[in-house]
């Protein structure tokens, strides 16, 4: 896991550590010092902490004018034991909501497991953004993760599944956002 870096090709357009409105403003990173772990496995030092011991993230891109944010995750999303969504909501999402972000794209290519608890924080997140025509979409979730998301009834607040699984890394952030929004709005009838 230590060689899985957060997606870096958009860094010419946005870096969270230089964005004064970002929850990660002022963060410094080492390329050589591996200190963060998921269980017994070191992860790349570019991943950001937000309080979870099993899930790390990276704020890849934010467009305040269009009101969207793109975050990538790695690890095990565990609401059951660690209430990861509470920490994500408190440490990251609330600040983004305060700055007008109402559309959230969560890249879950490296989320290996999901353990649900209840849907309260997802409902709260949804309540914070629904009046702004907001939405939350999980991209590239594994089938077993989708099953657990459904068991926790998160489909009422978060969009995920087959139609949101596609190769996004070869796109510019604005094009990835437009594609996801088009899928969400039902403008795309078939997968690209």
Angle among Cα 127, 119, 106 to the nearest 5 degrees reads 75
Domain hosting 38: range is: 16-47+58-108+124-166+180-184
- Three-class DSSP category at 149: helix
Q: What is the CATH number of the domain that holds 134?
A: 3.30.750
pLDDT at residue 33 in the model? 87
**Residue 100 resides in a domain:** yes
**Residue 96 resides in a domain:** yes
| pLDDT tens-digit series, residues 118-163 | 999 999 999 999 999 999 999 999 999 999 999 999 999 999 999 9
Angle among Cα 139, 145, 148 to the nearest 5 degrees reads 125
Neighbours of 11 (CB within 10 A): 14
**Residue 190 resides in a domain:** no
**Residue 175 resides in a domain:** no
**Residue 191 resides in a domain:** no
CB 160 within 8 A of CB 187: no
**Residue 28 resides in a domain:** yes
pTM of the model: 0.94
Q: Which residues contact 80 (CB under 8 A, 6 or more apart)?
A: 115, 116, 117
pLDDT at residue 189 in the model? 55
- Three-class DSSP category at 44: coil
Query: Whole-angstrom distance between the N-terminal and C-terminal Cα of the chain?
Result: 30
Is residue 94 over pLDDT 80?
yes
Least confident of 2-6, 24-28, 84-88: 2-6
Number of domains in the chain: 1
Task: Write down the mean pLDDT value for the chain.
Answer: 94
Cα 8 from chain centre: 15
**Residue 173 resides in a domain:** no
Is residue 95 over pLDDT 80?
yes
- Three-class DSSP category at 177: helix
**Residue 161 resides in a domain:** yes
């Amino acid at each position: 896991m230590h060689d899985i870096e957060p997606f870096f090709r958009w860094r010419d357009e946005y870096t969270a550590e230089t964005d004064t409105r970002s929850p990660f403003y002022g963060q410094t990173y080492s390329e050589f010092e591996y200190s963060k772990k998921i269980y017994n496995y070191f992860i790349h030092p570019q991943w950001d902490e937000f309080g979870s011991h099993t899930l790390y993230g990276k704020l890849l891109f934010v467009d305040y004018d269009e009101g969207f944010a793109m975050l990538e995750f790695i690890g095990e999303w565990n609401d059951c034991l660690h209430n990861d969504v509470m920490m994500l909501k408190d440490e990251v999402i609330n600040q983004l909501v305060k700055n007008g972000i109402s559309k959230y794209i969560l890249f879950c290519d490296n989320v290996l497991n999901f353990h649900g608890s209840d849907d309260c924080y997802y409902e709260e997140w949804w309540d914070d953004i629904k009046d702004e025509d907001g939405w939350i979409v999980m991209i590239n979730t594994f089938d077993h993760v989708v099953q657990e998301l459904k068991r926790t009834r998160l489909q009422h607040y978060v969009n995920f599944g087959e139609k949101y699984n596609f190769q996004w890394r070869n796109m510019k952030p604005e094009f990835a956002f437009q594609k996801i929004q088009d899928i969400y709005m039902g403008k795309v009838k078939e997968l690209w």
